């Protein structure tokens, strides 16, 4: 093997070594996530004759929204409060955009704010975090 062939061979092996080392430094969670998602069941809620799938575990996007926007401290206690300007986003993240669209239909004026915040939201939150929430004001829920 001549000198140039040896250099080319060594460069090729060096490149392979670097690629293998880089692959070893990657933690790939794509397959684990796929498998995890197939094992997480959903439950269905029925509302106005339609069925909606709700995950049995709190979705990450909802949990980040919840922690950022809905947990506030009042008189030394942490309370769960849905900000007025974030209510639609909260409902969409919790129940889905299809559910939100159903709520906003004019023909659904028989659905009250108090029903959604006092009945539906606490039941989903209880399933997700294992605590029962009770409505204390039009905006606030408390552990109870």
Q: Tell me the domain boundaries of the chain.
A: 1-39, 41-143
Its pTM stands at 0.70
Please state, rounded to an integer, the average pLDDT across all residues of the chain.
84
- Number of neighbouring beta carbons within 10 Å of residue 38: 8
- pLDDT 10s digit of each residue in the chain, 144 long? 788 877 877 678 777 776 766 666 678 888 888 888 788 788 899 998 999 999 988 999 999 999 999 999 989 988 889 999 999 999 999 999 999 999 888 776 788 888 999 899 999 999 998 877 665 555 555 554
Tell me how far apart the 2 most distant CA atoms of the chain are, in Å: 87
Q: What pLDDT is attached to residue 53?
A: 92
Tell me: the pLDDT tens digits for 1-21?
788 877 877 678 777 776 766
Q: What pLDDT is attached to residue 20?
A: 66
Q: What pLDDT is attached to residue 59?
A: 92
Q: What pLDDT is attached to residue 143?
A: 53
β-bridge pairing 50-55 and 71-74: unpaired
Long-range Cβ contacts of 64-73 (<8 Å, 24+ apart): 65/89, 65/90, 65/93, 66/90
Choose among 108, 105, 103: nearest CA to 121: 103
The values of phi and psi at residue 136, to 5°, are -115, -30
Tell me: the pLDDT tens digits for 69-81?
999 998 998 888 9
Contacts of 100 (CB under 8 A, 6+ apart): 88, 91, 92
């Amino acid at each position: 093997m001549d000198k140039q062939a040896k250099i080319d061979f060594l460069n090729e092996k060096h490149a392979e070594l670097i690629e293998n080392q880089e692959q070893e430094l990657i933690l790939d969670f794509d397959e684990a996530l796929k498998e995890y998602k197939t094992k997480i069941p959903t439950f269905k809620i029925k509302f106005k004759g339609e069925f909606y799938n709700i995950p049995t575990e709190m979705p990450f996007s909802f949990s980040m929204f919840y922690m950022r926007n809905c947990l506030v401290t009042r008189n030394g206690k942490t309370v769960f409060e849905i900000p007025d300007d974030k209510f639609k986003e909260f409902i969409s993240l919790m129940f889905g955009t299809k559910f939100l669209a159903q709520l906003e239909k004019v023909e659904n004026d028989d659905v009250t704010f108090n029903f959604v915040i006092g009945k539906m939201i606490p039941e989903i939150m209880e399933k997700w975090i294992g605590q029962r929430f009770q409505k204390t004001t039009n905006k606030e829920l408390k552990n109870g």
